[in-house]
Amino acid sequence: GNSVTQMEGPVTLSEEAFLTINCTYTATGYPSLFWYVQYPGEGLQLLLKATKADDKGSNKGFEATYRKETTSFHLEKGSVQVSDSAVYFCALNTGTASKLTFGTGTRLQVTL
Amino acid sequence: NAGVTQTPKFQVLKTGQSMTLQCAQDMNHNSMYWYRQDPGMGLRLIYYSASEGTTDKGEVPNGYNVSRLNKREFSLRLESAAPSQTSVYFCASMTDFNQPQHFGDGTRLSIL
């Protein structure tokens, strides 16, 4: 079956630090990959996506590259801000009603 | 500009009580989903509806039922609530494969 593994949190960084959140997956077929972000008290919002190998998704300074050879989709940002504090979820789908499989989430806290 | 609307936002039940969580989307999406979010477990799919008139079980369907009332609305029912169903419930909708799912703000349900 499909599965997504994310690095454990919480991750605590100072403002302007470099961020990496690791995500690896196992899947049958050719999945589409997503990063979602959840701010406190809210639902999940799409941050970025990639639908095929070597695609790079980007949004709001965040980037992730679909690496088929390493089955990874690591999230990066060059300079984090306090406003980036949230929980980040890696997810995949492989068709069949487009059911998403989520990782367990990584909480990011950015301090001044 | 509503997107996915969930009601209620908070609810406290006693063990054995029943209730229905409501979800409506105004984006003319074909597919709708119910997830539960528990600490350290990410989001897990309870039920989904790939199109109006169809529903299917997800990863954790026991103790729940759903109804796809029309294209807009997808409700989740707990017939006899149990403390293990204490969770945050999210509804989501999506139009096509490879497109992102859009989430509501969640219903926080506590069962005593």
Strand A56-59 to A62-65 pairing: antiparallel
| Beta strand residue intervals within chain B, DSSP E | 4-7, 10-13, 19-25, 31-37, 43-49, 56-57, 64-68, 74-78, 87-94, 102-103, 107-111
Distance in angstroms (rounded) separating the CA atoms of residues B57 and B44: 11
Residue B37 has pLDDT above 80, yes or no: yes
Inter-chain CB proximity A93 and B31 less than 8 Å: no
Distance in angstroms (rounded) separating the CA atoms of residues B112 and B105: 23
pLDDT digits (tens, 9 = 90+) for A74-104: 999 999 999 999 999 999 987 666 788 899 9
Inter-chain CB proximity A99 and B48 less than 8 Å: yes
Strand A106-111 to A86-93 pairing: antiparallel
Of all residues in chain B, the percent with pLDDT exceeding 70 is: 97
Contacts 24+ apart (CB under 8 A), A67-70: A70/A24
- Nearest CB partner across the interface for B100, out of A46, A97, A104: A46
Q: How much is the pLDDT for B1?
A: 60
B36 touches chain A (CB under 8 A): no
- Nearest CB partner across the interface for B101, out of A4, A42, A100: A100
Distance in angstroms (rounded) separating the CA atoms of residues B26 and B100: 15
The whole-angstrom distance between A77's CA and the closest CA on chain B is 21
- Nearest CB partner across the interface for B103, out of A4, A41, A43: A43
* Contacts of residue A34, Cβ cutoff 8 Å, sequence gap at least 6: A46, A47, A48, A49, A90, A91, A92, A93, A100, B100
Q: How much is the pLDDT for B62?
A: 96
pLDDT digits (tens, 9 = 90+) for A19-42: 999 999 999 888 999 999 999 888
Q: How much is the pLDDT for A97?
A: 63
Show residues of chain B in contact with A105, CB under 8 Å. 42
Interior angle at CA A67, CA A74 and CA A61, nearest 5? 40
Show residues of chain A in contact with B94, CB under 8 Å. 98
Show residues of chain A in contact with B31, CB under 8 Å. 97-98
Inter-chain CB proximity A102 and B103 less than 8 Å: no
Mean pLDDT of chain A: 92
Inter-chain CB proximity B101 and A98 less than 8 Å: yes
Show residues of chain B in contact with A29, CB under 8 Å. none
More confident residue, B60 or B1: B60
Hey, of B32, B43, B108, which one would you mutate to test binding to chain A, going by the most A CBs within 10 A of its CB?
B43
